[in-house]
Structure 1
Amino acid sequence: MYADGCASSEARACVVVVPGLGDGPASLSYVARGSALEARCASTARALIRFELSTSYEGYGTRRLRDDARDIDAVIRALRVKFPLATSFALVGHSTGCQSICHYLASGYDSASAVDRIVLQAGVSDRDWYDADCGREVMREWVARAREMAPDDLMPADTPGTYGVATNARRFLSLASAGGDDDWFSLDIFDGSSGEGVESSKIVRKLGAGACARVDVRLVVSTADEYVPYDRDVVVAHNERIRDAFARVAKSARTHYIEANHDLSDMAEKDAPGFVDFVLS
């Protein structure tokens, strides 16, 4: 676990970064040492925390969101000891880190009561991307094949959507099938075409029993995200529906749009202050 910003025990708040698939604690430039976010944390008595999930890098292929939730719980509990003066805990998720945070909040951990803000940066749909990148019918055939396998059996090496990562049938289905554990943000959930819609989305169903009631939700949306197979107008409409779903169960929910790629590595310097303000205020 790495702590920057105000890393002393005097920190009054913690900002905890939850990485996405294939990532780890050093993957994101916007939380690195010298970043605008790190500098703001240092000047406002916040500790900026980066840690390695058991699913980090290629570990995700044989693990589950519940493993991420367990890891987040362990980190929050450790931070409450390390930073005894901290009264605010924010979780900043990148990509699948967003689903990991949602799953953690829905899992009933006592530590979740300390979390008062979640920032979901690039919370996108793996299923939508796989369908666009590999072909919907191709993915449906492989999903059907995975359903006939034992959960811990590894998918064949040429399975589309695994991109060379050893992936068991359970995780493949979680990522690639409708209603899988990882399937929180797909387009058809929110536009009504799947028969669901905002009010019956997983966000409302899983987080609507008080798990998110005291949490401010901040959605950071990249309008040039290379893993989102829709045009800008669809991106905006889709994320406004996602925001509306969170608004039904959270203390507050807001969106912030940035003309940048999936991990914000090409975010313009002029956009960094507004991004930091949105994350922290």
Structure 2
Amino acid sequence: MRLPVPASPYGTLTGDLFSYTMTPTNLVAFETSPSRPSKCILLGGLSDGLLPTPYCKELAEQLPEQWSLVQPLLQSSYTGFGHGALDRDVQDLETLFLYLQTHRRAESFTLMGHSTGCQCIVHYLKTGKQSLRLAVLQAPVSDREHAATSPQYAHFLSLAQDMRHQNKLQEMMPREAFWAPITAERYLDLHERGGKDDYFSSDYSAEELIERLQHVSAFGERTDDTSDSRRFQCCVAYSGADEYVPDHVDKAALTQRLVDAMNHGSSSPIAHPLYLPSSNHNLSNHEQEREQFIHHIVQLLQD
């Protein structure tokens, strides 16, 4: 008896699969509507690869006519994040931008991140060079605050800190420390207060959030073409029912705090909030709010 073949839960897409670099490894990306000159690049979270979110197909179908959806695999995709770092993600993105401009007629870019993909984007806005039309942060949650709900968090954090003191940051953590293979360095990046990935934690003061996030508005002022009326924008989309955020966190208030920190010191606001009160982490549970999110992004790109 043949077992039923399940459907692709996030839909199916048609387009081009291509390699954008062969060094240090063969990295590929998938693009819908490859002839379009504007590229919306979607980055998933930890362990994600192609088709990282339930809204991939809807987003690809509803993008404005000049925009295509690009889903790259970075060295940190799938379980590669465990021996990676945000700096390496930025290098992969720079390589992708150059390839798209050289070989796929790219003229403008948007970066959209889900979960830890948001940290990758915020880090790119600090160190990257390519100008962007828009950055979208969907579910910019704190890995540290989620990990801290585990009773073993303090033990493994202390172990990783001891490994740092022993100059063993590139050694792997014990198997039971995390659900995927991970070095002590990446463990600390994700789970230590002030770690390289720790951008969105609710226990930061207003001053600490500004220190970590005000470069978002500085990026727009640094890269915007003053002859172009369309300025860089950043949308912070936060879910009110995000299962990876501790219950004690006021999610609506945190969304606004993140936006305020990003806009600090800017002559005009660059970041704005989009709060989705009933949605979960990847927007799979609430069709109406998922459609609201996609419609909002499409409107930003059309404008």
Bucket of the pairwise TM-score, normalised by the shorter protein: 0.7 to 0.9
Q: What amino acid is the match of 1:71?
A: D
SS in 1 for 2:290: helix
1:74 to 2:91 alignment: no
Q: Which residue of 2 aligns with 1:230?
A: 247
Q: Which structure features the higher share of helix residues?
A: 1
Q: Answer with 1 or 2: which has the greater Rg.
A: 2
Query: Partner of 2:34 in structure 1?
Result: 7
Identity, % of aligned positions: 29
Does the Cα contact within 8 Å between 2:45 and 2:52 map onto a contact in 1? no
Provide the aligned length of Structure 1 versus Structure 2.
Answer: 258
Instruction: Please say which of residues 139-148 and 210-219 is displaced more in the overlay.
Output: 139-148
Q: What does residue range 122-271 of structure 1 map to in structure 2 within 5 Å?
A: 122-134=139-151, 137-138=154-155, 140-149=157-166, 150-159=168-177, 162-163=178-179, 165-189=180-204, 191-192=205-206, 196-199=207-210, 201-204=211-214, 206-207=215-216, 210-213=218-221, 214=224, 215-231=232-248, 234-248=250-264, 249=266, 252-258=270-276, 259-268=278-287, 270-271=288-289
Q: Distance in 2 between matches of 1:127 and 1:79?
A: 34
Which residue does the alignment assign to 1:36? 58
CA distance in 1, matches of 2:252, 2:203: 15
Q: Secondary structure at the match of 1:90?
A: strand
Kept in 2, the 8 Å contact 1:143–1:177? The answer is: no
TM-score w.r.t. length of structure 2: 0.78
CA shift, 1:256, in A, is: 1.1
Secondary structure of the equivalent of 1:29? coil
In 2: Cα distance, 1:265 partner to 1:146 partner? 39
Deviation of 1:71 after TM superposition, in Å, equals 1.1
Deviations 1:83-139 (Å, cap 9, x if unpaired)? Answer: 43x5431100011111111111211x33x22x1210001111111011013455445
Counterpart contact for 1:25–1:52, Cα < 8 Å:
yes
- Within-5 A mapping of 1:60-71: 60-71=81-92
Are positions 1:275 and 2:297 aligned together? no
Quick one: which amino acid aligns to residue 243 of structure 1?
V
Question: Structure 1 stretch 149-158 or stretch 173-182: which is displaced more?
Answer: 149-158
RMSD: 2.1
User: Contact 1:15 / 1:48 at 8 angstroms: preserved in 2?
Assistant: yes
Identify unmatched segments of 5+ residues in structure 2. 1-28, 225-231
TM-score, length-normalised on structure 1?
A: 0.84
Mind listing any 5+ residue stretches in structure 1 that lack a counterpart?
Answer: none
Pairing 1:21–2:46 present? yes
